Chain A
Amino acid sequence: MDRIVVTGMGVISAIGNTVAENRVALMEGKCGIGRLETFPSKFAGILPVGEIRIPNHALQEQLDAYEPGVTRTSLLALYAFKEAITNSYLSIAQIATDTALIGASTVGGMCLTDEMYYDSKKGGPGSEYLSSYDYSATCMYLQKRYAINGPVNTINTACSSSANAIMYGARLIKSGKVKRAIVGGFDSLAKFTINGFNALHILSPEICTPFDADRKGLNLGEGAAFLVLEKESEVADKKIYAALSGYANSNDAFHASSLSENGEGPYTAMESALTVAKLGAGAIDFINAHGTGTENNDQVESVAMMRLFNKVPSFNSTKANIGHTLGAAGAIEAVYCILNLSEQELYPGLHFKTPISGLELQPIPFYKKATLTHVMSNSFGFGGNCSSLIFSKA
C-alpha cells in the first residue's frame, strides 16, 4: 500500500517563524506566551496569549503581500505556506496544476473584529475587507496568489479543524483525485475569540498548565502551519519527514462546548485512527495531546487515554508553549509530531507541577532523545468534533 508522506512543512507560532526555530524552542522548553500586545483591547497588557510579535505591516513587507483586504490570518497562512512549498521543492507550475489546497480556520477574517462590526451596519460604503471576513477568504487568497487549479477547500470542525483539513487532503490523494495536497490551518488572535472564551470562563489569567491538578484554563494563541502531502511512490529522492498512517474523526455527541465524562468522542477518534493505521494501541510511542489546560478537556482526555491504552504512552501538550491556536492547532501540532519522529526526540511539557488526583498522569518533564516509530496527535473541538492523526517514521 502506497503511503501518504510528508515532504514539506511550514510553521509560524509564538515560539518561532520557521520549522527550525520552532524545533529549537521546543527543545529548550521555551514558552512564547506573554501579555497581549499587537492590537488594542481591554485585555491588552493583561491577558496571557501566544502572540507572534510581528506587526502586520512587517509581515506584508516580508511577504510582498499588499493585496487589498489581506488580513493577518492570511498573512500568517502565506508565511507558513511559503516555507512548506519551498521545503518540498514544489514549483509554481506544480502548485498550479495538480495540487489541492485544503485549509482550516475558526477565526478567518474575523481577526478584524472592529472593522467587521462597522461593516455589519447598514448604510455607508463598505471597507476593503468586505470579502475578507469569510472563513474561506484565506484559501481564496492563496488560490489567487498561486493560481491553483486543483481543488481548494476550507473546512471547519472548530478547534479540530486543521486535523480534518489534513485528513481531507490525504483522502483526496488516496482516491486519485490529486497528485499532492497542501494542507493546514491558520488563525490569528482576535477580540472575537478572546471575548468568546472569556465569556465561557475558560481563559486562564495565568500561563496555562496543561494536565496539572491546579490548571486554570487555556491561553489563546495564533499561528499557521502547512504540510505538503504526497504519495510515497511519487516523491523520488525528496526528503520524507514522516508518513501520515492513520486518521479519524468522531463526534462526542454530548454538549456544544464540553466533552462527555468518559470521553466517548476522544476515545473513538483515537481508536479509529489506530484502526485506519492498522496498529494496536501498544504501537503508539508518544501523544501530542489536545491538552488545552481547561478543567474539562484535560480530565476527559486523560480518562480517554487511560481507557484506550494499557499504559498511557509518553505525552505532552505544546499548548503550554504556544497557547491554543484554534483552527491552526491541529496543523501546528502535526508539525511538532513530525519533528518528534524525524529528529527522534521528545520535547518537555511545560508548567506542570501536580498530577490530577486519581489519574496520576504526567507530561514528559525533560527533553530527551527517544526511539519513536508511531506518534499520535489529538484535536478536539466545540460541537464534540474530535479527531486523531497518527504519523509514522519515514
Chain B
Amino acid sequence: MFYIHQTSCISPQQSFRDINLDELNVYSDQRLLAIEPGYNGIPPGVLRRMGKAVRMGVGAAMQTLQNKAAPNGIIMATANGGKEDCVKFLNQIIEYDEGLLTPINFVQSTPNAIAAQIGLLTGNHGYNITHLHLGLAFEFAVMDVVMLLEENPGNSYLLGAVDDISLYNYVFEEKDDLYKKEPLSAHLLYQTDSPGCVPGEGATMFLINGDQNGSLAKLVGVDTLHSEDPIAVKEKLQDFLRNYLPAGEVIDLLLSGENGDNRLLKYYTACESIIDEHVAIARFKHMSGEYPTAVAMGLWLCCHILQKQTIPDHMVKRATKTLYKNILIYNNFKGAQHSFMLVSIPT
C-alpha cells in the first residue's frame, strides 16, 4: 500500500504539464509516438547525448521532483530502455568488424541508464534499481516501492516507467507479429478483429510516500501472474480481490489493458466475466499504444480519474457510474504476463 503524491506523464497524448485528455490525438502511421516536451533543467550538453528513453525518463522525473524534497530512492521499470543504443553498438561491432569502436553507445545501452542518470543529475545516493521483466517490469517496481515503505515508513520514493519505440524493439516485435499488419488509426483500435496491436511509448513518474495527506490516489495492492490460461487468470483475479478489496467495498471501474489484439480478447473477457455488470469499464491503449510498461500510464490515468471524477468519452467501454472510488486495473502483455492493481481514493 502507498500514496501517490505527484505524477507526470510523457505520452502520445496531451498528458504533460497542460493536460487535456478529452481530445484524443489520433495517429495515422501505426505508431503512437510520445509528444516530447521542451526539457527544462537538463544541461543541453547532457541532453544531446541522451537516447530517447533516457531523455523522456529524465524529463518526466525532473518535472515530478520539481520543488519537492529529494526522494530516498529511484525505482524504475523499463523493458526497452537502452536497446536503441544497444543496436547502434551492435551495428558498430559488425560493420567495423570488431575494430576500434566508440564506447558511448555501449555505456548507454545498459538498461539501468535511466535510473542512473536521474540519480546522477539529482545527486541522489539512495536506493537505485531498474526492473526489466518485460510486461511486468512496472508491477515489480510498484511491489518494490510497497516493500520499501513497509521497511522505511517515513521515506519517499520516485517510481517510474519508461519505454520507447526504437529501431530495435520495433523491428523485432514486428517480425514477432506483435503489431497489426494493416494500417489503422488508434481510435479505431477496438473495432478491429485482427491479431496485433499498435505500438506506443512513454515515460510516467510517480512520487510516492506513506502519507495520505494531500495525496492523489492510494495504491491498495498489486499482483502478477505468468500464464497462458484464461481460467488461471480469472482465478488469480478472484484471489486478488479477496486479498485486497476491503469488505463492503465494490469496484467502480475496471481499467482494462485491452489493446485491439483479437488473440488476447479471451483474457479480457475472462476478467470482465467476474466483475459486476454495474462496474464501469474503460480502456487506454488507444492513448498510450502498447509497450511493456504501458500500464504505468494506466496508473497515471487512475490518479486523473479519481481526482476529476470523470472519464474522457473515448476511453469508455461501458458507462455505468458517475462516482469512482475503487479502480481495478487489469493488464496483459503478449498473453503470457498478467497483472492486477487496485487503486482507490485516498482515505
Give A contacts to B, CB under 8 Å: 41-43, 106, 110, 113-114, 116-117, 119-122, 125-126, 130-131, 133-136, 139-140, 143-144, 148-149, 151-158, 164, 168, 171-172, 174-175, 177, 191-192, 195-200, 249-257, 264-265, 268, 381-385
CA–CA, A164 to B94, complex, Å?
Answer: 32
Given the complex, which residues of A lie within 8 Å of B234, measured CB to CB?
A: none
Inter-chain contact B147/A126, CB cutoff 8 Å:
no
Q: Given A383-B115, A383-B120, 11 other A-B contacts at CB below 8 A?
A: A42-B99, A126-B172, A152-B136, A153-B131, A172-B147, A191-B98, A195-B93, A199-B103, A251-B125, A383-B113, A383-B128
Of the candidates A136, A149, A174, A253, the one whose C-beta lies within 8 Å of that of B124 is A253
- Complex contacts, B93 vs chain A, CB 8 Å: 113, 117, 191-192, 195
Q: Is the CB of A148 within 8 A of B226?
A: yes
Q: Does B126 contact A (CB under 8 A)?
A: yes
Instruction: Please name the residue on chain B nearest to A105 by beta carbon.
Output: B132
Across the interface, do A154 and B131 meet the contact criterion of CB distance under 8 Å?
yes
The chain B residue with its CB closest to the CB of A154 is: B133
Picked from A126, A135, A177, the residue with its CB within 8 Å of the CB of B132 is A135
From A254, which residue of chain B is reached at the shortest CB distance? B120
| A153-B226 in contact (CB<8A) | no
List B contacts of A384 (CB < 8 A).
Answer: 116, 119-120, 128
Q: Decide: B119 and A253 in contact? CB cutoff 8 A.
A: yes
B residues sitting closer than 8 Å to A (CB atoms) are 74, 79, 86-87, 89-94, 97-103, 106-113, 115-117, 119-120, 122-134, 136-137, 140, 143-144, 146-147, 150-151, 167-168, 171-172, 175-176, 224-227, 336
Instruction: Name the distance in Å between B250's Cβ and chain A's nearest Cβ.
Output: 26
Residues from chain B with Cβ under 8 Å of A143 in the complex:
226
- Contact between chains at B112 and A382 (CB < 8 Å): yes
Residues of B with C-beta under 8 A to A116: 90
A389: shortest Cβ distance to chain B, in Å? 14
**CB-based contact A195/B101 at 8 Å:** yes
How distant is the Cα of A84 from the Cα of B241 in the complex, in angstroms? 34
Q: How far is the CA of A257 from the CA of B116 in the complex (A)?
A: 10
CA distance in complex: A192, B122 (Å)? 30
A341 CB → nearest B CB, Å: 25
Residues on A with beta carbons closer than 8 Å to the beta carbon of B147? 171-172, 174-175, 177
**6 shortest interchain CB distances as A-B pairs:** A383-B116, A126-B175, A196-B106, A199-B103, A251-B128, A42-B98
- B94 touching A264, Cβ below 8 Å: no
A251 with B226: CB separation less than 8 A: no
Instruction: Knowing A155-B131, A168-B144, A251-B126, say if A122 contacts B103 (CB, 8 Å).
Output: no
Q: Would A251 and B171 be within 8 Å (CB), given that A42-B98, A171-B147 are in contact? A: no
- Roughly how many angstroms separate A253 CA and B124 CA in the complex, as a whole number? 6
Q: Quick check: A135 and B175 within 8 Å, CB to CB? A: no
Q: Please measure, in the bound complex, the distance between the C-alpha atom of A125 and the C-alpha atom of B172, giving whole angstroms.
A: 10
Q: List 26 A-B contacts (CB under 8 A).
A: A106-B110, A110-B86, A120-B171, A120-B172, A130-B172, A148-B226, A149-B227, A154-B134, A155-B129, A158-B110, A168-B144, A171-B151, A172-B147, A191-B93, A195-B89, A250-B125, A251-B74, A251-B124, A253-B123, A256-B107, A381-B110, A382-B110, A383-B110, A383-B112, A383-B113, A385-B112
CB contact under 8 A between A136 and B134, given known A120-B87, A120-B172, A151-B143: yes
**Minimal beta-carbon separation of B245 from chain A (angstroms):** 18
**Residues on the A chain within 8 Å of B176, using CB:** 126, 130-131
Q: For A196, what are the chain B residues with a Cβ–Cβ distance below 8 Å?
A: 89, 103, 106-107, 109
Q: Is the CB of B106 within 8 A of A200?
A: yes
Min Cβ gap B200→A in Å is 18
Q: Is the Cβ of B101 less than 8 Å from the Cβ of A119?
A: no
Residues of B within 8 A of A131 (CB): 176
Q: How far is the CB of A248 from chain B (nearest CB, A)?
A: 8
